[in-house]
Amino acid sequence: MPYDLNQPPSGQHRPRRLPPLARGGTFLTIAALTVVTLSGCGGSSGPGAAPVPGGPEATGATASAAPSGSAPTGGAPGTPGKSGTPRPSDAKPSTPARGPLAGKVVVIDPGHNPGNFRHAREINQLVDIGTNRKECDTTGTSTNDGYTEAAFTLDVSHRLRTLLEKQGATVRFTQDDDRPFGPCVDERARIGNKAAADAVVSIHADGSGSGNRGFHVIHPALVKRGAADTTGIVAPSRELAERIAGKFVLATGSAPSNYVGGGTGLDERGDLGGLNLSTVPKVFIECGNMRDAKDAALLTSSQWRQKAAQGIAEGISGYLLG
């Protein structure tokens, strides 16, 4: 779930219809794919969803789920462990290979630091998100078996980094379990801005009610207030969201969210600091509802996580290459 995700006031949560997308000569209408029977990669808690510990309605470090600071491995489904070797998120990236994305900078924002649960006071501090003030961050959610969103987001982010670097992109992380907590939502936005990123993607999973399934990609609404001005990124961010949504469907077989976005796989938001304060194209992707048993079975599968990373990578590539 987005780290500063709360149900927005009326008029700020406006799902929009996704037009048919051309992908390699094949036209795809996301809304039509709601009939897909495979489980989807979820989104934010939808209307009427019951609040859950660590979910979008939670504040700060109130999650009761067993925390896990480790990213999952490529082992059997539901058996989290270490995934690769984390490297400092602010370290100079390895020299990218030649490829179609050479010269492009992508910032990956793994939602929620695994150490957040140890720092309730710090992550509950309010920060300016332009429209108002919100908590620095939250702990994130988890499956009913205790597999945390923080572990999931790091694993998918590592896989995504590998795929993008193979295409020549320079990839930076906002955090890689290399700091005690955070960064706060405002700092996450500044990291992408400072990197002059060509694209920023924030990786999340949701904590909505059981039965709510499917993925969605959150893109910024037009916000011009205080420190927030999304005027220059609304259009490119929406294009990035559409590209990722289209490729995510094809790579994972997952349907768009059945509780957010009206079946489009897209959700426009004006209440998220990570988007409001960004000056470069940025989106969030909610990859599944961790509180739904069927979605949880996907999220804890290393094979499915690889497909998720592939879909996101293809969407980013398609956006950057035009």
Catalytic residues: 286
Residues forming a β-bridge with 148: 142
Strand blocks (E) in the chain? 13-14, 21-23, 26-28, 105-110, 126-128, 133-135, 170-173, 199-206, 216-220, 224-225, 228-229, 266-269, 282-289
d(CA 44, CA 13): 11
DSSP label of 289: E
Burial class (CB within 10 angstroms; exposed 0-12, middle 13-18, buried 19+) of 196: exposed
DSSP helix, strand, coil percent of the chain (3-state; round to 5):
30, 20, 55
d(CA 44, CA 236): 22
Structure tokens at 226: 């205080």
Structure tokens at 162: 């590998």
Which residue matches tokens 């706060």?
184
d(CA 152, CA 70): 9
For strands 26-28 and 21-23, give the pairing.
antiparallel
